[in-house]
């Protein structure tokens, strides 16, 4: 007989409440009193420990959390005490934001490259 799961369906409401206020997955797992590995098994639909309702709550929670962070950044842009740099770094780390990087050539065309190859023979008598 295996160990009984700590999972309770009521945990879904906790996930949504916390993430609605911008909580991370680590914060949620800590609040629920479960190890992060267990948390990820519960949301992995390939895992034997998967709980569909919990996975759906976490998926919705991720959207709610990102919305909370974006809203706070938007609202506080004119607040001189707001740490825009800290907020921006959090968005990059938490939600995969990245600085735009140009990868096209002039006028949006392809990048042209030219190579010169010079063969050097180290044995002067082989010439």
Span 106-115, pLDDT tens digits: 887 888 888 8
Count of domains observed in the chain: 1
Residue 35 in any domain: the answer is yes
For residues 127 and 121, the answer to whether their CB atoms sit within 8 Å is yes
For residues 47 and 5, the answer to whether their CB atoms sit within 8 Å is no
Residue numbers of the domain that contains 60: 11-90
- The dihedral over CA atoms of 102, 86, 29, 44, expressed in degrees to the nearest 10, equals 0
Residue 65 in any domain: the answer is yes
Residue 126 in any domain: the answer is no
In the predicted model, what is the mean pLDDT of the chain? 90
Q: Where are the alpha helices (DSSP H) in the chain?
A: 11-20, 25-32, 36-43, 52-75, 84-95
Q: Is the predicted pLDDT of residue 120 greater than 90, yes or no?
A: no
Q: Is the predicted pLDDT of residue 127 greater than 60, yes or no?
A: no
Span 84-110, pLDDT tens digits: 899 999 899 888 888 877 777 788 788
| Percent of the chain at pLDDT exceeding 90 | 65
Residue 24 in any domain: the answer is yes
Indicate yes or no: pTM above 0.75. Answer: no
Residue 38 in any domain: the answer is yes
Span 48-62, pLDDT tens digits: 999 999 999 999 999
Residue 86 in any domain: the answer is yes
Residue 55 in any domain: the answer is yes
Residue 70 in any domain: the answer is yes
């Amino acid at each position: 007989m295996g160990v009984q799961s700590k999972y309770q369906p009521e945990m879904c409401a906790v996930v949504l409440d916390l993430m609605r206020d911008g909580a991370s997955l680590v914060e949620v797992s800590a609040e629920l009193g479960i190890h992060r590995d267990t948390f990820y098994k519960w949301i992995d639909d390939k895992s034997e420990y998967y709980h569909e309702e919990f996975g759906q709550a976490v998926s919705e929670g991720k959207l709610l959390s990102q919305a909370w962070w974006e809203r706070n950044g938007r609202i506080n842009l004119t607040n001189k005490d707001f740490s825009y740099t800290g907020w921006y770094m959090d968005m990059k780390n938490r939600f995969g934001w990245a600085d735009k990087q140009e990868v096209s050539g002039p006028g949006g065309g392809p990048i042209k490259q030219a190579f010169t190859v010079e063969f050097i023979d180290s044995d002067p008598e082989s010439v």
